[in-house]
Chain A
Amino acid sequence: MSAQQIVFLVTAGVIVISAALVVTVRNLIHASLWLVITLFAVAAIYVQLEADFLAVVQVILYIGAISILIIFSVMLTRRVMADTGPQRIPQWPLAAVLALLVFGGLAYLLVQVPWPLAPNVDVSDTVLALGEAFVDPNRYVIPFEVATVLLLVALVGSISLALPERESD
């Protein structure tokens, strides 16, 4: 077993354990902290896949923004929930069985198919290629613009949703 494989297994172990804790621990603050650890470990996997840019985006966007947002929301809504009520709904055993089935099916499918692999090449400089592809009118400039519009709409939408209702109406 090569060093790479050992590193992968360790990271994967961290991911699986912390992800499992995210969905099982009672305390939501703890859950969100475990989520941060999961996301970090996934970023580490990206590094192993030589997708440096994505790893950085993962850290900045997921950990820096989304996780913080989640922690804030947990704290904003904490008063009622406390940690007293049940954290699982009664149908959880069924959910567990289904999740297992999904995993079984996915893993079976993904492993069984003989994916043709591309020859291994050096992919050190993806950031430049990504940047160029984003602004190339013949490639991804339109998806890029659409994504920006989507983010803008989400921004406006979430502000208007979360605004307290005005007294007048």
Chain B
Amino acid sequence: MVPLSWYLVLAALLFSIGIYGVLARANAIGILMALELMLNGVILNIVAFWRYRGPTQVSGQMFAIIVFAVAAAEAAVGLALIISIYRRRGTVVAEDVSLLKW
């Protein structure tokens, strides 16, 4: 049997890689992809806890499913925003979208 901590470390790793991507990617779509990685890390964490700590209850999986739904909504709206920005300003580089500054 695989110990729980392995899953947790894997989830943490996936999450951290996502954070790096969100912080360092120039392209907004790249940021969104990294965001998906972070969400996957979170879901992985939830599912691992469900399997090891409460396999008789469905709540763990239920939360995972709801996070799935939120992720889908987030991806759809996020990409629509990117397309809209692209159409107006001709760029998808997050750095270039910086109207709100000093």
Residues on A facing B (Cβ under 8 Å): 2, 4-5, 8, 12, 15-16, 19-20, 22-23, 28, 31-32, 35, 38-39, 42, 45-46, 48-51, 53-54, 57-58, 61-62, 65-66, 69-70, 73-74, 76-77, 80-81, 85-89, 91-92, 94-96, 98-100, 102-103, 106-107, 110-111, 115-118, 120-121, 123, 126, 129-130, 133-134, 140, 143, 147, 150-151, 153-155, 157-159, 161-162, 164
Contacts and interface: CB of A to CB of B under 8 A. Distances in A.
A140 B58 CA distance: 10
A157 B16 contact: no
B55 A133 contact: no
Contact of A35 (B7, B33, B73): B33
Contacts of B20: 23, 95-96, 98-99
B97 interface: no
Nearest to B56: A121
A158 B80 contact: yes
A80 B91 contact: yes
B2 interface: yes
B23 A91 contact: yes
Contacts of A121: 55-56
B44 A45 contact: yes
Question: Chain A contact residues: over half helix, strand or loop, or mixed?
Answer: helix
Contacts of B21: 22-23
Counting from the closest, the 3 A-B pairs by CB-CB distance are: A23-B21, A95-B23, A154-B73
A165 B69 CA distance: 28
10 contacts: A65-B72, A66-B36, A86-B26, A95-B23, A102-B16, A115-B49, A117-B53, A118-B52, A130-B61, A161-B84
